[in-house]
Structure 1
Amino acid sequence: MTPNDIRPFRFEPARADLDDLWGRLDRVRWPDEVPGTGWEHGVPLAHLKDLVRHWRTGYDWDGALAELDAHDQFVTEIDGQGVHFLHVRSGREDALPLLITHGWPSSPVEYLDVIEPLSRDFHLVIPSLPGYGLSGPTRELGWGSTRIAKAWLELMTRLGYERFGVQGGDWGTWISREIGVLAPDRVVGMHGNGIICFPIGAPGELDGLTEVEQERMAFRERYLTDQYAYKLIQSARPQTFAYGMADSPVALLAWFAGVYHEWSDEEVPADRLLTTVMLYWLTNTAGSAARSFVETPDTDQDTSVEWELKPATVPTSISVFPKDVLRPIRRFAERDNAIVGWVEHERGGTFAALEQPEVFAEDVRAFFASLR
Structure 2
Amino acid sequence: MTSEIRPFTIDVPDAVLDDLRQRLVNTRWPETETVDDWSQGTPLAYARELSAYWADTYDWRDREAKLNRFDQFVTEIDGLDIHFVHQRSPHDDAIPLILSHGWPGSIVEFHKVIEPLTNPTAFGGDASDAFHVIAPSLPGYGFSAKPTETGWGVERMGAAFAALMARLRYDRYVAQGGDWGSAITSAIGALDPEHCAAIHLTLAMGSRPTIHGDPTPEELHALERIKFYADWDSGYSKQQSTRPQSVGYGLVDSPSAQAAWIVEKFWAWTDNDGHPEDVLGRDELLDNIMLYWINGNGASSARLYWESFSKRRKLEITVPTGFASFPAEVVPPVRAWVEPVYPNLVHWADYDKGGHFAAFEVPDTFVAELRTYFRRFR
Quick one: which of 153, 158, 167 aligns to 2:162? 153
Q: Is contact 2:23-2:255 (8 Å) kept?
A: yes
CA offset digits 1:67-96 (Å, max 9, x no partner): 111111000111111100000000111100
Q: Which moved further from structure 2: 360-369 or 190-199?
A: 190-199
CA offset digits 1:315-368 (Å, max 9, x no partner): 111111111113111111111212111111111110111110000010011101
Paired residue secondary structure (1:76): strand
Question: Counterpart in 2 of 1:7?
Answer: 6
Paired residue secondary structure (1:215): helix
Question: Counterpart in 2 of 1:262?
Answer: 268
Paired residue secondary structure (1:23): helix
Q: Which moved further from structure 2: 351-360 or 322-331?
A: 322-331
CA distance in 2: counterparts of 1:33 and 1:123, whole angstroms: 47
CA distance in 1: counterparts of 2:195 and 2:266, whole angstroms: 33
Question: Counterpart in 2 of 1:178?
Answer: 187
Q: Is contact 1:199-1:205 (8 Å) kept?
A: no
Quick one: which of 145, 155, 174 aligns to 1:165? 174
Question: Counterpart in 1 of 2:322?
Answer: 317
Quick one: which of 268, 284, 299 aligns to 1:287? 299
Paired residue secondary structure (1:135): coil
Question: Counterpart in 2 of 1:351?
Answer: 357
Structure 1 residues 269 and 193: CA distance shift in structure 2, 3 A: farther
Where do 5+ consecutive residues of structure 2 fail to align?
A: 120-129
State the one-letter code of the partner of 1:225. Answer: D
2:376 pairs with 1:364: no
Question: Counterpart in 2 of 1:28?
Answer: 27
Runs of 4+ in 1 over 3 A off after TM superposition: 34-37, 204-208
Question: Counterpart in 2 of 1:99?
Answer: 98
Shift of 1:196: 2.9
Question: Counterpart in 1 of 2:75?
Answer: 76
State the one-letter code of the partner of 1:66. Answer: A
Q: Is contact 2:270-2:354 (8 Å) kept?
A: yes
Paired residue secondary structure (1:133): coil
Q: Is contact 1:235-1:291 (8 Å) kept?
A: yes
Structure 1 residues 34 and 9: CA distance shift in structure 2, 3 A: closer
CA distance in 2: counterparts of 1:34 and 1:224, whole angstroms: 22
Question: Counterpart in 2 of 1:65?
Answer: 64
Q: Which moved further from structure 2: 6-15 or 102-111?
A: 6-15
Question: Counterpart in 2 of 1:326?
Answer: 331
Q: Which moved further from structure 2: 266-275 or 61-70?
A: 266-275
Shift of 1:222: 2.0
CA offset digits 1:109-147 (Å, max 9, x no partner): 100000111012000000000001211322111111110
RMSD (CA atoms): 1.4
CA distance in 1: counterparts of 2:295 and 2:285, whole angstroms: 16
CA offset digits 1:197-247 (Å, max 9, x no partner): 4227xxx74434202212211211221222111110111111111110111
State the one-letter code of the partner of 2:96. Answer: P
State the one-letter code of the partner of 2:312. Answer: W
Question: Counterpart in 2 of 1:308?
Answer: 313
Q: Is contact 1:170-1:326 (8 Å) kept?
A: no
Q: How does 1:134-149 map to 2 (within 5 A)?
A: 134-149=143-158
Q: Is contact 1:136-1:285 (8 Å) kept?
A: no
Q: Is contact 1:74-1:87 (8 Å) kept?
A: yes
Question: Counterpart in 1 of 2:308?
Answer: 296
What is the aligned residue count? 361
Paired residue secondary structure (2:225): helix
Paired residue secondary structure (2:339): helix
Q: TM-score, normalised by structure 1?
A: 0.94
Q: Is contact 1:197-1:328 (8 Å) kept?
A: no
Question: Counterpart in 1 of 2:237?
Answer: 231
CA distance in 2: counterparts of 1:164 and 1:191, whole angstroms: 12
CA distance in 2: counterparts of 1:96 and 1:20, whole angstroms: 43
Where do 5+ consecutive residues of structure 1 fail to align?
A: 298-304
Quick one: which of 229, 247, 252 aligns to 1:241? 247
